[in-house]
Amino acid sequence: MPPERIPKTITKGFPKPPAYATDWGAMYCGDSLEHMRSMPGGCVDLVVTSPPFALVRKKDYGNLEAERYVTWFAEFGHEVKRILKETGSFVIDIGGSWLPGSPVRSTYHYKLLIELTKPGMLYLAQDFFWYSPSKLPTPAEWVTVRKVRVKDAVNTIWWLSKTPFPKASNERMSVEYSEAMRDLLRNGYTAKKRPSGHDISTKFQKDRGGAIPSNLIVVSHTTSNDYYQRRCRETNVPVHPARFPLDIPLYFINMLTDERDLVLDIFAGSNVTGWVCEHMKRRWLAFELEADFVKGSTYRFEKNSPALNGIEYISGKKEVKFRRLRMTSSPAKLPTGQKRGM
């Protein structure tokens, strides 16, 4: 499929040319709020991003204190709603935080969700949870020193939508059947109600090649010497300290967009989202404020940069018995909530 350029009507109001452009998209160095305000309404199919988190300890990528975070982010939410198509979605990967000097959790990311889903704003299509088995045991004071809390290894991911029926399909992903399910398909079963009241019909005997995945996404984020990081070190360019694992944007881009749709990352960092879109034939825009991170992100698009080469949803370690998630390109076009045949 030949690339399709982003219409100039979308980018003509941007304050300056892109830092770089590819066949499918462009990266802009600057304030994402300023860029969004110059875009026409209803032009984006998906906004997927991992913003700076509201953490107790300051990071190099510019995080804010929790008490200021909701007010700050709400401005972005209003602009995202305006530029989304009616069938569009807004996916936010956001980690939790702790209250300063205390083993008590902040509720800022839940307050943000409530702010973004107020009447007249967005809908919560579904909440997801990204579990990273490789997370370090933090916060160290309460986990490894005083030992009164457990390791914080889950991020929340809010899937928001402009209407209750955005484009989406779980048919594009499936989880490998468990051995028990394979036995059921081989040997059959008696259709009847379970003690829980669920009515298990004969339709469950149809082999569909895999099960519908859950809203728990398992990704071990352990990469420390990939092509992007090696090139940054070779040129003394700072490596982004909070890189998006490719599996997260890949999951939602596949489930919520069709080929040639427009995907935007408003806190692009090292531009993993744009790189995934490039390989999935989605048009993309990326906004990043820090010039060093923009410079480093160019390495993802070099000729020698490896292709999108796999999914890390399930750990390869035998003791972690998660079933692998598989992706397909069907259905050819995504539905918007209409009833589908069994």
Q: Hey, where are the domains in the chain?
A: 8-15+24-176+214-327, 178-210
CB neighbours of residue 92 within 10 Å: 25
CATH number belonging to domain 8-15+24-176+214-327: 3.40.50.150
Residue 223 token pair: 């990469």
The H or E element containing residue 74 is: helix 66-83
152 is a catalytic site residue: no
For residue 201, what pLDDT is reported?
Answer: 63
pLDDT digits (tens, 9 = 90+) for 87-116: 999 999 998 888 888 899 989 899 999 999
For residue 276, what pLDDT is reported?
Answer: 94
Residue numbers of the chain with a pLDDT score lower than 70: 1, 54-67, 191-192, 197-198, 200-205, 222, 309-324, 338-342
38 is a catalytic site residue: no
For residue 60, what pLDDT is reported?
Answer: 46
Nearest to 134 by CA among 317, 325, 329, 328: 317
What Cα–Cα distance (Å) separates residue 326 from each residue in 73, 177, 259, 278, 341?
33, 11, 18, 20, 22
For residue 309, what pLDDT is reported?
Answer: 60
Of the residues 18, 51, 52, 245, which is catalytic? 51
Of the residues 50, 220, 270, 315, which is catalytic? 50
Q: Is the pTM of this model over 0.85?
A: yes
Which residues contact residue 320 at a Cβ distance below 8 angstroms, ignoring those fewer than 6 apart?
Answer: 133, 218, 314
Q: Is the bond preceding residue 133 a cis peptide, omega within 30 degrees?
A: no
For residue 176, what pLDDT is reported?
Answer: 79
User: Alpha-carbon Rg of the chain, whole angstroms?
Assistant: 21
292 is a catalytic site residue: no
Of the residues 32, 52, 89, 93, which is catalytic? 93
